[in-house]
């Protein structure tokens, strides 16, 4: 082999790199004018995209052209200002170029001796979050690929610490508003459905404490071993916050691990109007937070903080013979000893870089804007005849629905689902439905810092028009 066959020359690398930067800058500035929703069927895509293995190469211009025409125009961008579904990911450009640096230098952030600089940045960045949440100096953590992995890692730690060899009798408690990743994580860890207690939530979609205590007491009487409570800071349906203070007292009283899933709402610690609800969060055993959601980073980065970092290291550490030379001493950290991954990309860089460039105060402002927008949405719905709020703006989400008079529940559910479909198909906004209190409702999460009051107003104007059009066509 004369030359690396997977290589471009310098001129080509630079040209392609610039071209993609130009394309991204254009995309970013044009995004608000683009359709939010772009999809396609497998059959259509099959016609557009060649499926056989490319044995021979092609010019990168041709491949990029194909990508632009046949892939990127079939993507619904969750960083679009009017993407209001699920949890949007309104990322920032500094985060993107930080990721480019991490990928371009191809940094392995697992072992201190291989990437001291990267390990130090992850350590510093994680420590910022420790301070933000008010956790003790014994606390620490790591970045993972997302909230699901953070919940999995925390649950495994809880099991190791609280349940050594007793897992058959271990029981877990969380509300019916908890994210499905927690259930999946527990199933992976070997727990059966019979060990998982889904506590009903109250009218504000917070865990019912009385029911929780009853279940714990009953399980103890039945010879079970209660060991883990998962509390929500920003539940998926409504953004509600479980009473962390009370959960902390209960978990201490019964000696249970308290994990907080703050994937959606942990960023509300930056909003003075809400942060009192998170007052005790610094004392819990572990916290999931999710930089690729309301901390404005590109996918995929989740974060985990644990109260006692030594426990995390003891639980996950690897000491095979081929890593003998990588053993740490003193304050060196091998991040592969903190979680389930060995090879790990340098995820921390985007958080570090964007915090440095914009400053935490700018992130505060951006989070507050999201809360403002959710509250503004609520205010608008409150003033719209024939519409009702089903869950108010606890944090960054509202649920609401169209309730024309004289219609059956089934018909109301159906029409709200239709409204969602129509607004999505129009390309204006991405608004999905969920089920709350047995009702199908529209759900809106306006956390993109680019979204304006005018866009919000226009969105509700359009929703109202769609709703009335549907009713009218049903009558006709």
Site for a copy of itself in 31-60 (CB under 8 A): 38-43, 45-46, 49, 51, 53-60
- Which residue, 86 or 254, is less far from a copy of itself as judged by CB? 86
Choose among 456, 269, 295: nearest CA to 363: 295
CB count within 10 Å of CB 439 equals 17
Q: What is the distance between the alpha carbons of residues 343 and 149, in angstroms, rounded to a whole number?
A: 15
Contacting a copy of itself within 370-389 (CB under 8 A)? 372
Measured at the CA of 58, the angle between CA 54 and CA 59, to 5 degrees, comes to: 160
Contacting a copy of itself within 332-371 (CB under 8 A)? 332, 340-346, 349, 353-363, 365-366, 368-369
Complete edge-to-edge strand list for the sheet that includes strand 257-261: 140-144, 302-306, 286-289, 257-261, 225-232, 170-175, 196-199
Rounded to a whole number of angstroms, the minimum distance from the CB of residue 223 to a copy of itself is: 17
Q: Which two tokens stand for residue 439?
A: 């009702």
Please select the residue that binds a copy of itself; options are 73, 204, 310, 426, rule is CB under 8 A.
73
Rounded to a whole number of angstroms, the minimum distance from the CB of residue 107 to a copy of itself is: 6
The site map against a copy of itself for 213-242 (x = CB under 8 A) is -----------------------xx-----
Q: CA of 90: how far to CAs of 31, 96, 101, 352, in Å?
A: 11, 11, 20, 17
Q: What is the distance between the alpha carbons of residues 232 and 332, in angstroms, rounded to a whole number?
A: 33
Please select the residue that binds a copy of itself; options are 34, 166, 168, 200, rule is CB under 8 A.
168
Please select the residue that binds a copy of itself; options are 17, 34, 204, 425, rule is CB under 8 A.
17
Residues 345, 364 contacting (CB under 8 angstroms): no
- Which residue, 194 or 472, is less far from a copy of itself as judged by CB? 194
Please select the residue that binds a copy of itself; options are 162, 277, 292, 422, rule is CB under 8 A.
292
Q: Is 422 in the site for a copy of itself (CB under 8 A)?
A: no
Rounded to a whole number of angstroms, the minimum distance from the CB of residue 225 to a copy of itself is: 14
Residue 278's beta-bridge partner residues? none
Cα within 13 Å of Cα(196), Cβ side: 20
Choose among 413, 354, 360, 460: nearest CA to 84: 460
Q: What is the distance between the alpha carbons of residues 392 and 276, in angstroms, rounded to a whole number?
A: 18
- Which residue, 260 or 451, is less far from a copy of itself as judged by CB? 451
Please select the residue that binds a copy of itself; options are 65, 138, 166, 188, rule is CB under 8 A.
188
Any residues with CB less than 8 A from the CB of 248 and at least 6 apart, and which? Answer: 258, 280, 283, 284
Q: Is 411 in the site for a copy of itself (CB under 8 A)?
A: no
Rounded to a whole number of angstroms, the minimum distance from the CB of residue 364 to a copy of itself is: 9
Please select the residue that binds a copy of itself; options are 126, 148, 215, 419, rule is CB under 8 A.
148
From the list 212-220, 271-279, 293-301, 461-469, the region that binds a copy of itself by CB under 8 A is 293-301
Give one DSSP letter per residue of 172-232, joined into a string: EEEETTS-HHHHHHHHHTT--GGGEEEEPB-TTS-B-HHHHHHHHHHHHHTT-EEEEEEEE
- Which residue, 210 or 321, is less far from a copy of itself as judged by CB? 321
Q: Which residue has the tokens 């471009």?
A: 8
Q: Is 147 in the site for a copy of itself (CB under 8 A)?
A: yes
Contacting a copy of itself within 76-135 (CB under 8 A)? 76-79, 85-86, 89, 91-97, 99-101, 103-108, 112-118, 120-121, 124, 127-128, 131-132
Rounded to a whole number of angstroms, the minimum distance from the CB of residue 56 to a copy of itself is: 4
Rounded to a whole number of angstroms, the minimum distance from the CB of residue 149 to a copy of itself is: 7
Q: CA of 294: how far to CAs of 255, 311, 447, in Å?
A: 32, 28, 7
Measured at the CA of 166, the angle between CA 196 and CA 189, to 5 degrees, comes to: 50
- Which residue, 207 or 250, is less far from a copy of itself as judged by CB? 207
Please select the residue that binds a copy of itself; options are 70, 249, 379, 418, rule is CB under 8 A.
70
Contacting a copy of itself within 304-323 (CB under 8 A)? 316, 318-323
- Which residue, 250 or 278, is less far from a copy of itself as judged by CB? 278
In the three-class reduction of DSSP (H, G, I as helix; E, B as strand; rest coil), residue 141 is classed as strand
Instruction: Give the DSSP H/E element, type plus range, for residue 417.
Output: helix 409-425
Rounded to a whole number of angstroms, the minimum distance from the CB of residue 205 to a copy of itself is: 12
- Which residue, 283 or 421, is less far from a copy of itself as judged by CB? 421
Rounded to a whole number of angstroms, the minimum distance from the CB of residue 320 to a copy of itself is: 4
- Which residue, 343 or 408, is less far from a copy of itself as judged by CB? 343
């Amino acid at each position: 082999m004369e030359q690396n066959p997977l290589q471009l020359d310098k001129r080509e690398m630079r040209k392609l790199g610039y071209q993609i930067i130009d394309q991204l800058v254009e995309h970013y500035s044009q995004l608000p004018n683009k359709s939010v929703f772009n999809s396609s069927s497998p059959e259509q895509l099959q016609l557009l995209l060649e499926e056989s293995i490319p044995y021979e190469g092609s010019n990168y211009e041709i491949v990029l052209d194909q990508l632009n025409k046949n892939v990127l125009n079939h993507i619904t961008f969750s960083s679009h200002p009017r993407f209001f579904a699920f949890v949007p990911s309104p990322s920032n450009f500094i985060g993107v170029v930080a990721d480019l640096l991490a990928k371009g230098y191809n940094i392995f952030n697992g072992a201190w001796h291989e990437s001291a600089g990267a390990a130090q940045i992850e350590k510093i960045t994680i420590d910022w979050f420790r301070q933000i949440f008010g956790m003790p100096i014994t606390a620490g953590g790591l970045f993972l690929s997302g909230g699901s992995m953070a919940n999995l890692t925390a649950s495994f730690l809880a099991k190791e610490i609280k349940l050594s060899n007793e897992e058959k009798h271990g029981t877990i408690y969380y509300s019916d508003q908890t994210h499905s990743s927690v259930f999946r994580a527990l199933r992976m860890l070997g727990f059966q459905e019979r060990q998982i207690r889904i506590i009903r939530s109250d009218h504000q979609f917070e865990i019912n404490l009385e029911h929780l205590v009853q279940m714990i007491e009953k399980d103890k009487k039945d010879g079970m071993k209660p060991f883990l409570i998962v509390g929500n800071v920003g539940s998926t349906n409504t953004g509600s916050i479980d009473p962390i203070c009370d959960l902390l007292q209960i978990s201490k009283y019964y000696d249970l691990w308290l994990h907080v899933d703050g994937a959606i709402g942990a960023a509300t610690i930056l909003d003075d109007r809400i942060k009192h609800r998170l007052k005790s969060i610094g004392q819990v055993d572990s916290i999931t937070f999710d930089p690729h959601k309301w901390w404005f980073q590109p996918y995929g980065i989740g974060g985990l903080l644990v109260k006692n970092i030594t426990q995390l290291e003891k639980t996950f550490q690897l000491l095979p013979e081929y890593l003998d030379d990588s053993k740490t001493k003193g304050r060196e950290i091998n991040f592969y000893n903190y979680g389930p991954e060995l090879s790990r990309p340098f995820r921390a860089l985007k958080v570090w870089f964007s915090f440095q460039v914009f400053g935490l105060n700018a992130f505060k402002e951006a989070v507050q804007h999201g809360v403002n927008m959710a509250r503004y949405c609520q205010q608008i719905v409150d003033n719209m005849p024939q519409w009702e709020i089903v869950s108010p703006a606890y944090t960054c989400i509202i649920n609401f629905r169209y309730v024309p008079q004289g219609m059956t529940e089934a018909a109301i559910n159906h029409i709200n689902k239709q409204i969602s479909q129509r607004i999505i198909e129009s390309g204006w906004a991405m608004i999905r439905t969920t089920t709350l209190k047995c009702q199908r409702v529209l759900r809106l999460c306006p956390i993109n810092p680019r979204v304006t009051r005018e866009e919000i107003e226009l969105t509700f104007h359009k929703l109202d028009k769609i709703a009335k059009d549907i009713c009218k066509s049903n009558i006709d």
